[in-house]
Chains A and B, each alone.
Chain A
């Protein structure tokens, strides 16, 4: 067969290139542009090189927000992953109640982020919220608007409520794929419940759990809407996570240069962590396929 070479075919790729350019490349380049310039309005820009990056890297405000962010992600991962697995292990395997549980578990995932925030904002209010009022009635001094610890608790419980389902559903899918023979063999071998979990269920769930951890890490590291609606980053700066801080800087204070430098570094951190996860996961796949 004679192969015809027609370079005009490249034009077929053009629409995609245009869409990607306008949706991703150009906005990102604008951010890069802001990060390298200073402006005093009137569309006048002054080249500052890497100054904004230096300022941001050494900024204690950013360090604090990063510290809070890492702490938040670590806490919710430490709660949601074991809790999700625990729920998945105890969900019915088939029948009406299995479907019922699946629907019930999916519900929080279907609620828009700002609605989740609003729900918990009202739920936690001491004057009219069911949770806040009940806690106050029990004599517990709970007020997320002026106590940093209470604010943290509220934001964490909210995230756990919203997202544990995701981990549970993924873990459940992993569990369902384990052939019955493994459990039977474990019974024959007189394995304890813990051994069944440790040597059968956990290894078989490994793949989906890594995906769950990756998704939860990325989402929690970028979290904005829910804590913003509930606490607005307060009291003080106690629940100001990276995204909230970024928005304050960029839109609140109109410090476009530092904010742009900040967001580029933010993006790179998430990219780096995701890449690490990806590498680990593909390595695991390769080991299994060997």
Chain B
């Protein structure tokens, strides 16, 4: 087990990258704590899998170093890194039995047969396949195969890290939840460093202590679920985390007030003069319909999603979502929307600006 350090890491699939766009992974410096449960979150094609493959050694980065603890493993082969990785689609050895599949990584490392048998039994129990251990892997359903892949990833106790590349894509929803719980338990019991790639925010937020949000080849924020929710460092994080995502309104920032289309909004902090495109971001949960306080709003649609109601509206012609509690009447007199000043985030060119005290 080891802390994973990425130093000036960048990767391009082109032989001679010149422009910024040539890089699938833009230069980054990050430290992944030993024993942490990380979720790597981002939309498709943002470089999640590239980053994962660099950590596991399937891909050599175009620049920068990868360190496990103090050891530089940039040029070390995958097999030397002692890493487990589970892929998006099930990879099983068809001609082997389920038991042999699970034992394969241990046998290749010459472990004691007695230990292997015990370990296989434990993992089989965890993935719920004890009764099918002697069966050939060929012909099993996709989710059973993926459970075997997961089991193979977890069977070794001494790994530096376990990497999951969207492992639950092919699994049934109810099984997803159960397996995620199992992974979480495994993490608590053994304390492996786990990196879990996903584009599903629920999966990321429930699995991880720390969520790493990637956008366009960059890590835009690394933080706890709460930090991602309350203080998204990038508009993409605001948009990607939360359901619905953060509302963004173009605004001119002037000290502790923002001017949105001629209307003034109080902010929770004071800001130095900003350049570029400036926006304010408000979570739908922190906006409230009022009878005259705040910005004028026109309501387009009300969706009842059970625990609360979702109001799709427009502020100055821009779409705006509001979460309203259940049971409160939404009358025709509610023509304005007000925000909690402390919960407003300010962005300049998509990056969050830290304000000073009022």
| Residues on A facing B (Cβ under 8 Å) | 179, 181-182, 184-185, 187-192, 195, 199-200, 203, 287-290
B248 to chain A, nearest CB (A): 38
Q: How far is the CA of A125 from the CA of B210 in the complex (A)?
A: 77
Question: Quick one: which of A187, A203, A289, A290 contacts B78, CB cutoff 8 A?
Answer: A187
Stretch at the interface among B89-97, B216-224, B350-358: B89-97
| CB–CB B91/A190 < 8 A | no
Given contacts A190-B108, A190-B109, A195-B108, contact A185 B139 (CB under 8 A): no
| CB–CB A288/B93 < 8 A | no
| CB–CB B94/A203 < 8 A | yes
Q: How far is the CA of A106 from the CA of B138 in the complex (A)?
A: 34
Question: Quick one: which of A179, A187, A190, A203 contacts B95, CB cutoff 8 A?
Answer: A203
Question: Quick one: which of A179, A192, A200, A290 contacts B93, CB cutoff 8 A?
Answer: A200
B84 is an interface residue with CB less than 8 A from chain A: yes
Q: How far is the CA of A191 from the CA of B103 in the complex (A)?
A: 12
Given contacts A199-B96, A287-B138, contact A190 B87 (CB under 8 A): no
Chain A residues with CB under 8 A of B95: 199, 203
Q: Which of A190, A192, A203, A290 has the most C-beta atoms of chain B within 10 angstroms of its own C-beta?
A: A190
Chain A residues with CB under 8 A of B109: 190
Q: List 26 A-B contacts (CB under 8 A).
A: A181-B88, A181-B89, A182-B91, A184-B56, A184-B78, A185-B85, A187-B77, A187-B78, A187-B79, A188-B78, A188-B79, A188-B83, A188-B84, A188-B85, A188-B105, A188-B153, A189-B105, A189-B152, A191-B108, A192-B108, A195-B104, A195-B108, A199-B96, A203-B93, A287-B138, A290-B138
Question: Quick one: which of A192, A195, A288 contacts B138, CB cutoff 8 A?
Answer: A288
Q: How far is the CA of A176 from the CA of B152 in the complex (A)?
A: 25
Chain A residues with CB under 8 A of B149: 185
| CB–CB A199/B93 < 8 A | yes
Residue of B nearest to A182 (CB): B91
B164 to chain A, nearest CB (A): 12
| CB–CB A184/B108 < 8 A | no
A188 to chain B, nearest CB (A): 5
A105 to chain B, nearest CB (A): 28
| CB–CB A181/B87 < 8 A | yes
Task: Encode contact with A along B65-102: 1 for CB under 8 Å, 0 otherwise.
Answer: 00000000000011100011101110101111000000
B58 is an interface residue with CB less than 8 A from chain A: yes
**Told that A179-B89, A188-B105, A203-B95 touch, could you supply 17 new A-B pairs with CB distance under 8 A?**
A179-B91, A184-B53, A184-B91, A185-B87, A185-B152, A187-B77, A188-B56, A188-B83, A188-B153, A189-B104, A189-B152, A190-B108, A195-B104, A199-B104, A287-B138, A287-B139, A288-B139
| CB–CB B87/A189 < 8 A | no
A282 to chain B, nearest CB (A): 15
Interface residues of B in 27-67 (CB under 8 A from A): 53, 56-58
B148 to chain A, nearest CB (A): 11
Q: How far is the CA of A195 from the CA of B57 in the complex (A)?
A: 20
